[in-house]
């Protein structure tokens, strides 16, 4: 392994950094924006639990991406991650709530086309259906949580000050869980494409911890996300807390828990195995968008509160992102791979 590996990995690390900078606000945005939790505390907890989630439970969603397309050279993986990052950068500028999950899937399909590898259409259908299902599920969970919390508060007659104290603790715990789920679900977006071509070896850590080569790769990706959280998420957290949607800390807790549960459901191999062992339907392990899960949860609460209409403009934008993000990422990836292969003479795929 030499420096070239890290050079090629840089696009994935950049993608991880931007994911950390953006998506940490979905977990701790309101808590920090409303000053319920200090940014330092939020960023430290988020960074630690994202890394734990990525290393401990990141393999499930990553395997699904591997089945979609096994990018077998480092330059190919580099360009796929870069194409996803560029797509995100471009689409975000038009204020469409997009996600790295959709971009990376598009980039992998772009690589498949370029390398003339077959794309499993049933898998694509399964992945796309999870994108549609993700905000709906998040909204359903948030409605259930909202009603339950409302009922509990009404029955318990808890003092406002004590409620504030529990909410504060709840926001930290939900944030930690959310960070774990984000790391577990979204590490596949950042490092998934590098798994087949990674030259990293297994590693033994102190206190008897053993990491497989994939887990070492995920640890590096998790650190990149963590750095993104610590260095660049404060501004976005303050924006989410103050401008984007005015939420009370308790509603924020409901939104974070709903979003985290959805991300966890789509990432946990353990939970999937348990469900399957009881012959229950299990969700596919697919990286999903935390931003779209948040939007789903907020809309769910809006409906539960008696909102008379859904925000169709926002729903329209999400649908546009489901279609446009993967297509744009696939096109950018295809063109970039062409240049990388023919102009820079890199091997972007092995037959």
Q: Which residues bind other proteins (CB under 8 A)?
A: 34-36, 146, 149-150, 153-154, 157-162, 164-165, 168-169, 248-251
Of 94 and 248, CB closest to other proteins: 248
Of 173 and 275, CB closest to other proteins: 173
Residue with tokens 């899937």: 105
Of 116 and 243, CB closest to other proteins: 243
Q: How far is the CB of 198 from other proteins (least distance, A)?
A: 37
Distance of CA 244 to the CA centre of its chain: 20
Q: Compute the distance between CA of residue 126 and CA of residue 148 in angstroms, rounded to an integer.
A: 31
Q: Are 110 and 334 in contact (CB under 8 A)?
A: yes
Of 195 and 250, CB closest to other proteins: 250
Q: What is the DSSP letter of 73?
A: S
Q: How far is the CB of 168 from other proteins (least distance, A)?
A: 8
Of 169 and 319, CB closest to other proteins: 169
Q: Which residues pair with 211 in a beta bridge?
A: 203
Residues 6+ apart with CB under 8 A from 212: 202
Q: Are 283 and 70 in contact (CB under 8 A)?
A: no
Q: How far is the CB of 29 from other proteins (least distance, A)?
A: 14
Of 164 and 202, CB closest to other proteins: 164
**CA distance from start to end of the chain:** 22
Q: How far is the CB of 51 from other proteins (least distance, A)?
A: 20
Radius of gyration of the chain (CA): 20
Q: Compute the distance between CA of residue 329 and CA of residue 349 in angstroms, rounded to an integer.
A: 18
Residue 60, classed as helix, strand or coil, is helix
Of 38 and 235, CB closest to other proteins: 38
Of 96 and 304, CB closest to other proteins: 304
Determine how many CB atoms are found less than 10 A away from the CB of residue 315: 14
Q: How far is the CB of 132 from other proteins (least distance, A)?
A: 28
Q: How far is the CB of 244 from other proteins (least distance, A)?
A: 16
Closest by Cα among 256, 42, 246 to 145 = 256
Q: How far is the CB of 299 from other proteins (least distance, A)?
A: 16
Q: How far is the CB of 254 from other proteins (least distance, A)?
A: 8
The DSSP result for 78-144, as a single string, is HHHHHHHHHHHHHHHTTT----HHHHHHHHHHHHHHHTT----HHHHHHHHHHHHHHHHHHHHHHHH
Q: Which residues pair with 203 in a beta bridge?
A: 211
Of 40 and 162, CB closest to other proteins: 162
Q: Are 346 and 82 in contact (CB under 8 A)?
A: no
Q: How far is the CB of 153 from other proteins (least distance, A)?
A: 7
Closest by Cα among 317, 309, 310, 288 to 135 = 288
């Amino acid at each position: 392994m030499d420096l070239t590996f890290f050079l090629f990995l840089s696009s994935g690390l950049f993608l991880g950094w931007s994911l950390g900078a953006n998506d940490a606000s979905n977990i701790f945005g309101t808590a920090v924006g409303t000053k319920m939790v200090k940014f330092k505390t939020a960023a430290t907890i988020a960074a630690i639990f994202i890394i734990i989630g990525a290393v401990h439970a990141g393999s499930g969603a990553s395997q699904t991406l591997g089945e979609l397309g096994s990018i077998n050279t480092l330059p190919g993986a580099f360009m796929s991650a870069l194409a996803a990052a560029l797509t995100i950068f471009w689409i975000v500028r038009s204020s469409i709530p997009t996600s790295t999950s959709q971009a990376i899937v598009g980039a992998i399909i772009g690589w498949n086309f370029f390398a003339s590898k077959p794309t499993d259409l049933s898998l694509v259908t399964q992945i796309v259906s999870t994108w549609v299902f993700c905000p709906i599920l998040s909204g359903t969970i948030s409605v259930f949580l909202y009603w339950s919390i409302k009922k509990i508060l009404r029955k318990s007659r808890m003092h406002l000050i004590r409620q504030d104290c529990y909410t504060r603790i709840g926001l930290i715990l939900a944030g930690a869980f959310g960070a774990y789920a984000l790391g577990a679900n979204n590490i596949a977006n950042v490092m998934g494409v590098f798994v087949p071509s990674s030259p990293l070896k297994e590693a033994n850590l102190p206190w008897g911890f053993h990491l497989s080569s994939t887990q070492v790769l995920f640890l590096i990706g998790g650190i990149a996300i963590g750095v993104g959280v610590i260095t660049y998420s404060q501004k976005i957290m303050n924006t989410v807390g103050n401008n984007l949607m005015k939420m009370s800390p308790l509603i924020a807790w409901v939104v974070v828990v709903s979003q985290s549960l959805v991300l966890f459901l789509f990432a946990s191999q353990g939970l999937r195995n348990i469900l399957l062992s009881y012959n229950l339907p299990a969700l596919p392990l697919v990286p999903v968008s935390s931003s779209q899960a948040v939007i789903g949860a907020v809309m769910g609460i809006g409906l539960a509160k008696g909102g008379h209409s859904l925000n169709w403009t926002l729903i329209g934008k999400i649908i546009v992102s489901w279609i446009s993000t993967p297509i744009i990422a696939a096109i950018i990836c295809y063109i970039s791979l062409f240049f990388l292969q023919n102009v820079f003479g890199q091997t972007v795929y092995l037959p």
